[in-house]
């Protein structure tokens, strides 16, 4: 419930055509200021003023990425829930909202075009890596099974890349956040999340070595094919541990130790895989233990890489609800 003064302030903030249009657009997920100016056909200063009013009223969250800013509806807000109900009363055939929807689709199509262009640039190297990997379907099925059916209020995907884990596990969490240091990868991730209509996940530009600024405490933290890019993977686990909720779990997917030097020389890998002993040591240093590990091999190649799925939990965490530990 809200008091009279706050309700009046909410109605004043939302009670203008451009701001209603902005709220209706952001009901579909996160958008940048540039996206919104393109859709509305208005100047950046004007759109920014409207966004500030909505933010000051507690309706929007703002996230800056360099010179860019992204907006989304505030999570778990009574005011936003009220606004959603108000906007849902507008006719679906309203001419202005239909025009905005068409413009939004054009913007998202352009995002997808940019993502496709990036993929085209790196396609050859990705194909080379894919040929060395285990079958993705088997690994992803194991990831879903490992997560289980327990309640996950917040999933944190470190080194999210294309956002694949947020997409794969979309039905497992109430809110998801992906962090990555590559703007190009975030372009891809945002396009994929929008195409899949996943509005309860967001991605952020950030450094997973320093998470204080970027992430809330999480029930599940995922590090999917990330640790081999760092000289000291143990440091990454220690940093991630600070964001793990009590009783939470950490899911790590990476290569087992190997001798494919090409991955270091041509694909920027700092570690040639991780050993079981290393993972146990790093987990212990972070106050965790390995409660599950499963290896995956490419049956069609005797020389292919071996990928391992590790589940880490607090000591004594092998009875965590919602996960099958073997």
| pLDDT tens-digit readout, 7-53 | 777 888 888 999 999 999 998 888 899 999 999 999 999 999 999 99
Both 76 and 10 in one domain: the answer is: yes
Average pLDDT, integer, range 85-107? 91
**Strand-by-strand arrangement of the 152-158 sheet:** 201-205, 173-180, 152-158, 218-224, 244-255, 306-314, 288-297
Which range marks the domain in which residue 238 is found? 133-314
Q: Considering all CA atoms of the chain, what is the largest pairwise distance in Å, rounded to the nearest integer?
A: 70
CATH classification of the domain holding 79: 1.10.10.10
Rounded to the nearest 5°, which phi and psi values hold at 155? -105, 130
Both 272 and 150 in one domain: the answer is: yes
Q: Judge whether 154 and 215 are in contact, CB under 8 Å.
A: no
Q: What is the mean pLDDT of the chain?
A: 86
Q: Is residue 19 part of a domain?
A: yes
Both 247 and 300 in one domain: the answer is: yes
Both 189 and 54 in one domain: the answer is: no
Q: Is residue 120 part of a domain?
A: no
Q: What is the pLDDT, as a whole number, of residue 259? A: 83
- pTM value? 0.76
Both 191 and 96 in one domain: the answer is: no
Residue 175 has pLDDT above 90, yes or no: yes
Q: Is residue 257 part of a domain?
A: yes
Q: What is the pLDDT, as a whole number, of residue 248? A: 94
Coil, helix or strand at residue 325: coil
| Residues 273-278: contacts with CB under 8 Å, at least 24 apart | 273/228, 273/305, 273/306, 274/227, 274/228, 274/233, 274/308, 276/308, 278/233
Question: CB-based burial of residue 156 (10 Å sphere; 0-12 exposed, 13-18 middle, 19+ buried)?
Answer: buried
Residue-wise pLDDT tens digits, 65-82: 667 888 988 877 788 888
Q: 12-26, 189-203, 310-324: which has the minimum mean pLDDT?
A: 310-324
Both 99 and 191 in one domain: the answer is: no
Both 96 and 146 in one domain: the answer is: no
Residue-wise pLDDT tens digits, 142-169: 999 999 998 899 999 999 999 999 999 9
């Amino acid at each position: 419930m809200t008091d009279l003064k706050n309700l009046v302030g909410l109605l004043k903030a939302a009670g203008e055509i451009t701001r209603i249009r902005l709220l209706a657009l952001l009901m579909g997920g996160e958008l940048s200021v540039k996206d919104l100016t393109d859709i509305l056909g208005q100047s950046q200063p004007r759109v920014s003023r409207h966004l500030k009013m909505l933010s000051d009223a507690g309706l929007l969250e703002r996230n800056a990425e360099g010179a860019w800013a992204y907006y989304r509806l505030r999570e778990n807000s009574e005011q936003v829930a009220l606004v959603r109900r108000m906007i849902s009363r507008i006719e679906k055939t309203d001419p202005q909202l239909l025009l905005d929807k068409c413009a939004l689709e054009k913007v998202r199509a352009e995002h997808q075009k940019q993502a496709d262009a990036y993929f085209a640039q790196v396609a050859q190297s990705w194909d080379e890596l894919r040929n060395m990997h285990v079958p993705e379907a088997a690994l992803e099925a194991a990831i879903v099974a490992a997560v289980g059916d327990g309640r996950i209020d917040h999933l944190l995907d470190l080194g999210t890349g294309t956002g694949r884990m947020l997409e794969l596990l979309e039905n497992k969490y109430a809110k998801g956040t992906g962090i990555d240091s590559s703007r190009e990868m975030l372009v891809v991730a945002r396009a994929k999340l929008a195409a899949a209509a996943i509005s309860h996940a967001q991605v952020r530009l950030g450094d997973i070595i320093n998470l204080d600024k970027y992430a809330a405490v999480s029930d599940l933290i995922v590090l999917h094919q990330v640790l081999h890019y760092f000289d000291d993977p143990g440091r990454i686990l220690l940093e991630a541990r600070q964001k793990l909720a009590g009783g939470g779990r950490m899911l790590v997917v990476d290569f087992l130790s190997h001798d494919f030097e090409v991955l270091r020389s041509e694909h920027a890998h700092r570690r040639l895989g991780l050993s079981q002993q290393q993972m146990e040591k790093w987990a212990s240093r972070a106050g965790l233990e390995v409660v599950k590990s499963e290896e995956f091999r490419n049956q069609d190649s005797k020389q292919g890489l071996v990928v391992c799925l590790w589940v880490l939990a607090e000591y004594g965490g092998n009875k965590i609800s919602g996960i099958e530990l073997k």
